[in-house]
């Protein structure tokens, strides 16, 4: 059982470049989330989705876009990368039942230079 | 706006000490509060607390939810160096389905 899979694990981008962080889960979870974690800090919610075709902004959505065409996949798109987007990105998923834990991917470490 | 605050931000103790980590929240339509431990990589789940389950315990770790005070504490007794980690608190907001995390508490346990 793979759980939540994120790719790539590491990436270096130049300022102004774009990229997509991939996230796939095989647990048939309705809810999926994207977080960023800056050094020594907690997790900030970027975007989330409660099901295929439904997405919504979190606390720090600027500079990012998402889509959710299937239950399994929730890619995060960075347009015009900036140094402020240097961070570790985590994808998480959970069932659509009140009070259930979220399962995390192993993270993507992104550096923008 | 939904908000989760943890304190202290950082804590340094010696093995054998007992520590208490705090989490307070302001969310619309509270559903649950979750505690996670994060070492080098992804957070790993510790406890979930809801209105119907306000106290949890596992070994040396225990947690209590105080719905009146809108807060929770995580206690670790007889700390070990392996407890060194960032401890994250998250709250599920019912109106929006968001899962909001706090700033985290970095715990360092020295021999």
DSSP string of B40-101, one letter each residue = SSS-EEEEEEETTB-EEEETTEEEEEETTTTEEEEEE-S--GGG-EEEEEEEEETTT--EEE
Mean pLDDT of A66-88: 96
Give the position of tokens 């996230």.
Answer: A23
| Contact between chains at B97 and A40 (C-beta distance less than 8 A) | no
Q: What is the pLDDT of residue A97?
A: 73
Cα A102 to chain center, whole Å? 13
Q: What is the pLDDT of residue A67?
A: 96
B67 versus A43: the higher-pLDDT residue is: A43
Q: What is the pLDDT of residue B57?
A: 93
Mean pLDDT of B50-54: 80
Q: Among positive and negative, which fits the CA dihedral A109, A18, A55, B96?
A: positive
Q: Please give the torsion angle defined by the CA atoms of residues A45, A50, A52 and A55, in that order, rounded to the nearest 10 degrees.
A: -40
Mean pLDDT of A82-111: 92
Q: What is the pLDDT of residue A2?
A: 77
In chain A, residues with a C-beta closer than 8 Å to the C-beta of B97 are 31, 48, 50
Q: Quick check: A75 pLDDT over 70?
A: yes
Distance from CA of B15 to the nearest CA of A (A): 22
* pLDDT band, very low/low/confident/very high, at A99 (cuts 50, 70, 90): low
Mutation pick from B11, B97, B102 vs chain A, by most beta carbons of A within 10 Å, is: B97
| Contact between chains at B42 and A107 (C-beta distance less than 8 A) | yes
Mean pLDDT of A67-85: 96
């Amino acid at each position: 059982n793979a759980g939540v899979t994120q790719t790539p694990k590491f990436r270096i981008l130049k300022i102004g470049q774009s990229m997509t962080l991939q996230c796939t889960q095989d647990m048939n979870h309705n809810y999926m989330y994207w977080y960023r974690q800056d050094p020594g800090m907690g997790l900030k919610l970027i975007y989330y989705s409660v099901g295929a075709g439904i997405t919504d902004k979190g606390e720090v959505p600027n500079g990012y876009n998402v889509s959710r065409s299937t239950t399994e996949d929730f890619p995060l798109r960075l347009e015009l990368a900036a140094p402020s987007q240097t961070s570790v990105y985590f994808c998480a998923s959970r069932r659509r039942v009140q009070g259930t834990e979220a399962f995390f991917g192993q993270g993507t470490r992104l550096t923008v230079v | 706006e939904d908000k989760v605050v943890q304190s202290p931000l950082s804590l340094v103790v010696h093995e054998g000490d007992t520590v208490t980590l705090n989490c307070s929240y302001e969310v619309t339509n509270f559903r649950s509060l979750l505690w996670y431990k994060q070492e080098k990589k992804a957070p790993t789940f510790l406890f979930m607390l809801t209105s119907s389950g306000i106290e949890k315990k596992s070994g040396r770790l225990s947690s209590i939810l105080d719905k009146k005070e809108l807060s929770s504490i995580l206690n670790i007794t007889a700390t070990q160096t392996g407890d060194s980690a960032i401890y994250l608190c998250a709250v599920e907001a019912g109106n929006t389905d968001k899962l909001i995390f706090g700033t985290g508490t970095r715990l360092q346990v020295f021999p």
